[in-house]
Structure 1
């Protein structure tokens, strides 16, 4: 049996989805090819993907790239990865932005369901934590939710305001904290 020819480019390496269907993220955690170089691609804080300085306007293409995105915690870098290539890219903050929130249930039994700018959906739970970092001298809150495999979404300001409206107080380790419940887990929003 004859093997298919090796891929000629990054896009040739990506398994194809059926036409009209949303592609599931690739199993990038299984791939660790050598570094191929740096790609002139970056993701802005607002979730816009740029290639060679121009925004990528086709959402399906951005979703394709997002499906092969990997964060290497040891290197502190983001890469586009296939079984045969690994290209470094720049990310200003988080690769995704959580743009919508739906709430199911109430109180400790509620579930907070986030949708990203690329139509990924995630429910905040123990595997997909929600947290807030305080940044800069003004201690401006920067809220995040884990989407998948070390890839996070910055929570859009409007969505964060919705979370604040849902916030309750709870004592944790002898300290009064302000936060929200999702999937039976309490997530502090006060950034302490």
Structure 2
């Protein structure tokens, strides 16, 4: 069955966005405790490119599959987890890149470089890092992993901010200014 990416998020209602999020069935990585721990020889570059032994992984379906198995532990290390093995993944900045944002009915919905949709809110907060000269915005995605907002998405979000550089989504308010 061929992969059908979700439609452009700007044309979707909040109900359609929420349905797209709910349709995404992820493996229960949190429930697995594999005995074998090793190195995947994979890396995720700052621009969202996945590599294996230094060569880019060019098949988007493979990247989406690997991304569904990704988690970050309390020490900040990223892992691909299956029922039989846990393999480290080197991540330069964030595991995902937020490539688009839309505002609908009091919610901010982001599209990631893996075509996933994440709705910002209490369970998926926006985090401002860096400093006033070089701010960076991140969105909590799942299992400790984050998405860094790319430049155009950051600019889209800035246009939605109030005069104090804050945005709200799903009842939570987030500052776009690093502290």
Please, what TM-score do these two structures have when normalized by structure 2? 0.83
Tell me if 1:31 matches 2:32: yes
Tell me if 1:57 matches 2:58: yes
- Rounded Cα–Cα distance in structure 2 between residues aligned with 1:69 and 1:35: 16
What are structure 2's unaligned runs of at least 5 residues?
Answer: 5-23
Tell me if 1:67 matches 2:68: yes
- Rounded Cα–Cα distance in structure 2 between residues aligned with 1:67 and 1:85: 15
SS state of the match for residue 178, structure 2?
Answer: coil
Moved over 2 A (4+): 19-25
Contact 1:99 1:116 in 2 (8 A): yes
Q: Which aligned pairs between 1:94-133 and structure 2 lie closer than 5 A?
A: 94-105=94-105, 110-133=106-129
Q: CA RMSD in A?
A: 1.7
24-33 or 39-48: which moved more? 24-33
Q: Which aligned pairs between 1:1-192 and structure 2 lie closer than 5 A?
A: 19-20=1-2, 24-73=25-74, 75-105=75-105, 110-134=106-130, 139-169=133-163, 177-192=164-179
Contact 1:25 1:66 in 2 (8 A): no
Shift, 1:24, TM fit = 3.0
Q: Which has the larger radius of gyration?
A: 1
SS state of the match for residue 36, structure 1?
Answer: strand
- Rounded Cα–Cα distance in structure 1 between residues aligned with 2:177 and 2:49: 28
Q: Which has the higher contact order (CA 8 A, sep 6+)?
A: 2
Number of corresponding residues = 160
- Rounded Cα–Cα distance in structure 2 between residues aligned with 1:84 and 1:139: 45
